[in-house]
């Protein structure tokens, strides 16, 4: 008996011994990391699928790309700053841009030229590149035509390097946000000889890319970490204070948060279940990430004419208590969407919301108003019983989507007596059902592609690529068309505001919330900027103060 007990004890001691021995090693490493100056670390939630500027699409590629590449301009804290282009001129009709490039070098020492930009933009639009974000180049003369194979000669595209230092871009129509758009990853320069030399392997690893941004990618251990180092060749290197950045790939949000708590990283998103505690400790910070979520009605749905009824749509919109939804499902992190256009988007001088304040829906449910709209709708539809106005609510298969659906279901039942069923499907399937218009009402979202209300508004024009609602309104189309072609930016903003009001009053869209993210940041980090377009975290000019 004694012998047997001894065996168990020995086994346990062996395991315990392993635990103790390595603990020291681990804590030493952590200690060492904290002492080094001007080094920062953070996590991203997934591997970067591609750093090829013309093929990248996801938020992590955009974040990393913002720091290792530089376009003609750089957007920092919402402001357009000169980048590779030192200065530029815009023609009278606001459709021709002439950029003058500064002396700048690629990470292999060769100069960055206007030809690199011309090549990159043509590469973006080349149908054989198969770039998902090619549409970002559709503003350029013949950009869309070339990408959709209506023309085959790339020389007809409105981008041309006049010499090594001068680049000319011609647009189809004036685009107010074109400068800020040029900071988007799709427009980052790439060098022809290098891309061709690398072939299919271009951008597959750290040594298969060239860099011209504030940092260079020193190491890329796939699925594990990316190491960035300050670029000694960067033209504005004196303004860059950080020497080294380690970006860990950590899929699990709770693990990532524990790494922050252990001092291994400098900032992190707060998992939903930790928000209250962090708020209590006074550590929680918030920022808008640009995403908006709304209900979208299929107005062409057979057998359910109420889905196309404007008053029915408004009834639903007023019956939902947005504030209570955000509190219950999102732990209070997000803002009720009482209008359609994301309030932070740029207006003429200030934000669009500051220049055009408006509230269509209220933060809380307005049951009286909702019932009024419902009465009108039922009269128009000649239906007496609201429980007959059923519909299926399509949403993703995540836990958060489920809770949101249940909350809305409950509100509609309680406030209007309307029965709604919930259908949860995987993300890609939801997109497919939307594209095929095989749904009643869908909980959908949109993130801005550029800093202008148009990124939300032009979705709903007749025949719009993303208009999966079947909705068509001549007045709306005209307003958008006017806004897209006029050179008078004040009139343009007025038209967009009219369009927004029209959409809220008559359109198939019921805004629910503007998403906010809760995060924590180490006090030693200064000058870190969050942005709702482009790089979520911008540390180009950040600093470390112990």
Partner 1 sequence: MVKYILNRLLVSLITAWVLVTIVFFLVRLLPGDPFLSEKVTPEIKANMMRYYGLDKPIHIQYVTFLQNLLKGDFGYSLRYKNRTVNEVIKQAFPYSADLGIRAVIFATIAGVTLGIIAALNRNRTWDYLAMFIAIVGVSVPSFVIGPLLQYVFATKLNLLPVSQWKGFSYTIMPTFALSLGSLALMARLMRASMLDVVNQDFIKTAKAKGLSPFQIIWKHQVRNAILPVITVLGPVTATLLTGTFVVEQIFAIPGLGKFYVLGIQNLDYSLVLGMTTFYGLFLIAANFVVDIIYGLIDPRIRIAK
CB 440 within 8 A of CB 392: yes
Site string for partner 1, 441-460 (x = CB under 8 A): ----xxx-x-----------
d(CA 469, CA 224): 41
Stretch that binds partner 1, among 322-330, 376-384, 428-436, 480-488 (CB under 8 A): 428-436
Q: CA-to-CA distance for 297 and 434, rounded, in angstroms?
A: 10
Residue 293 makes contact with partner 1 by CB under 8 A? no
Rounded distance, CA 283 to CA 250, Å?
Answer: 22
**Is 374:311 a contact under the CB 8 Å cutoff?**
yes
The token pair that represents 346 in the structure block? 């740029």
DSSP 459-527: GGSTT-TT-TT----HHHHHHHHHHHH-S-HHHHHHHHHHHHHHHHHHSSEEEEEEEEEEEEE-TTEES
Q: Which residues, 213 to 252, sit near partner 1 by CB under 8 A? A: 221-224, 248-252
Residue list 178-197, contact with partner 1 (CB under 8 A): none
Which of these ranges, 122-130, 277-285, 346-354, 412-420, lies near partner 1 under the rule CB under 8 A?
Answer: 122-130
Structure tokens at 189: 């320069």
Smallest separation, CB 50 to partner 1 (Å)? 4
Shortest approach of partner 1 to residue 225 CB, angstroms?
8
Residue 2: CB minimum distance to partner 1, A: 12
Q: Closer CB to partner 1, residue 222 or residue 491? A: 222
Name which of residues 140 to 179 contact partner 1 (CB under 8 A): 147-148
CB of 148 to partner 1, least distance (A): 4
Q: Does 520 bind partner 1 (CB under 8 A)?
A: no
Which range of residues in 65-73, 210-218, 347-355, 419-427 is near partner 1 by CB under 8 A? 419-427
Residue 426 makes contact with partner 1 by CB under 8 A: yes
- What is the C-alpha to C-alpha distance for residues 271 and 164, in angstroms, rounded to an integer? 49
| Separation between Cα atoms, residue 156 and residue 141, nearest integer Å | 8
Which region among 257-265, 297-305, 373-381, 520-528 touches partner 1 (by CB under 8 A)?
257-265
Determine if 204 is a binding residue for partner 1 (CB under 8 A): yes
Number of other CB atoms surrounding residue 42 within 10 Å = 25
Ranges within 5-64 binding partner 1 (CB under 8 A):
5, 7-8, 11, 18-23, 25-27, 29-30, 47, 49-50, 52, 55, 57
Phi, psi of 88, rounded to the nearest 5 degrees? -155, 155
Q: Is 4 in the site for partner 1 (CB under 8 A)?
A: yes
Nearer to partner 1, 259 or 401 (CB): 259
Site residue total, partner 1 (CB under 8 A): 72
- The DSSP output letter for 395 is E
Show contacts with partner 1 in window 56-115 (CB under 8 A): 57
Task: Give the residue, chosen from 280, 382, 428, 474, that forms a contact with partner 1 under the rule CB under 8 A.
Answer: 428
Q: Judge whether 385 and 413 are in contact, CB under 8 Å.
A: no
Backbone dihedral angles phi then psi of residue 220, each to the nearest 5 degrees: -135, 95
Cα–Cα dist 67/537, whole Å: 10
Q: Please give the residues from 300 up to 359 whose contact with partner 1 meets the rule CB under 8 A.
A: none
CB of 201 to partner 1, least distance (A): 6
Query: Which C-beta is closer to partner 1: that of 201 or that of 350?
Result: 201
Distance in Å, CB of 336 to partner 1, minimum: 22
Site for partner 1 in 499-518 (CB under 8 A): none
Task: Figure out which of the listed residues 68, 71, 122, 131 binds partner 1, where binding follows CB under 8 A.
Answer: 131
- From residue 412, alpha-carbon distances to 24, 151, 340, 407, 417 in Å are 57, 51, 21, 9, 6
Contact, 244 vs 232, CB < 8 A?
Answer: no
Which listed residue (59, 111, 135, 517) binds partner 1 by CB under 8 A? 135
Query: What is the Cα 133 distance to its own chain's centre?
Result: 13
């Amino acid at each position: 008996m004694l012998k047997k007990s001894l065996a168990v004890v020995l086994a346990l001691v062996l395991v315990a011994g392993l635990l103790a021995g390595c603990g020291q090693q681990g804590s030493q490493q952590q200690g060492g990391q904290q002492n080094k100056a001007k080094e920062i670390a953070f996590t991203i939630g997934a591997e970067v699928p591609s750093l090829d500027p013309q093929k990248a699409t996801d938020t992590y590629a955009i974040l990393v790309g913002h720091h290792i590449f530089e376009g003609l301009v750089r957007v920092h804290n919402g402001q357009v700053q000169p980048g590779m282009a030192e200065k530029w001129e815009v023609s009278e009709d606001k459709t021709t841009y002439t950029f003058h490039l500064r002396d700048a070098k690629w990470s292999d020492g060769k100069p960055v030229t206007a030809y690199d930009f011309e090549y990159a933009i043509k590469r973006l639009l080349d149908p054989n590149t198969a770039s998902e974000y090619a549409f970002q180049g559709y503003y350029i003369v013949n950009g869309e035509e070339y990408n959709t194979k209506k023309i085959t000669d790339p020389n007809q595209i409105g981008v041309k390097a006049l010499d090594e230092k001068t680049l000319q871009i011609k647009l189809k129509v004036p685009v107010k946000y074109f400068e800020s758009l040029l900071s988007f990853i799709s427009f980052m320069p790439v060098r022809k000889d290098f891309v061709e030399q690398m072939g299919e392997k271009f951008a597959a690893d750290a040594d298969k890319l060239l860099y011209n941004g504030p940092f260079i990618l020193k190491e890329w251990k796939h699925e594990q970490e990316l190491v960035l180092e300050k670029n000694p060749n960067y033209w504005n290197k004196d303004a860059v204070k950080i020497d080294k950045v380690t970006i860990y790939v950590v899929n699990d949000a709770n693990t990532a948060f524990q790494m922050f708590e252990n001092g291994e990283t400098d900032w992190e998103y707060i998992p939903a279940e930790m928000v209250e505690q962090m708020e209590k400790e006074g550590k929680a910070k918030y920022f808008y990430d640009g995403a908006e979520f709304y209900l979208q009605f299929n107005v062409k749905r057979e057998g359910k004419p109420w889905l196309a009824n404007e008053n029915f749509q408004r009834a639903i919109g007023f019956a939902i208590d947005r504030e209570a939804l955000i509190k219950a499902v999102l732990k209070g992190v997000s803002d009720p969407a009482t209008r359609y256009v994301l309030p932070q988007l740029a207006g003429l001088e200030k934000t669009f919301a500051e220049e055009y304040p408006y509230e269509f829906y209220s933060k809380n449910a307005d049951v009286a108003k909702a019932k009024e709209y419902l009465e009108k709708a039922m009269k128009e539809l000649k239906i007496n019983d609201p429980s007959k106005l059923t519909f299926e609510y399509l949403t993703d298969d995540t836990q958060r989507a489920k809770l949101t659906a249940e909350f809305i279901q409950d509100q509609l039942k309680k406030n209007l007596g309307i029965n709604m069923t919930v259908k949860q499907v995987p993300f890609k399937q939801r997109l497919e059902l939307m594209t095929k218009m095989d749904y009643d009402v869908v909980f959908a979202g949109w993130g801005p592609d550029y800093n202008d209300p148009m990124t939300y508004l032009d979705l709903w024009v007749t025949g719009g690529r993303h208009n999966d609602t079947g909705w068509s309104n001549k007045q709306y189309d005209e307003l958008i068309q006017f806004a897209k072609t006029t050179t008078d930016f004040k009139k343009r903003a007025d038209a967009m505001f009219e369009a927004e009001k029209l959409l809220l009053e008559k359109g198939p869209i019921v805004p629910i919330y503007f998403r906010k993210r809760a995060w924590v940041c180490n006090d030693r980090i200064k000058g870190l900027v969050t942005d709702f377009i482009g790089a979520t975290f911008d540390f180009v000019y950040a600093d470390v103060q112990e």
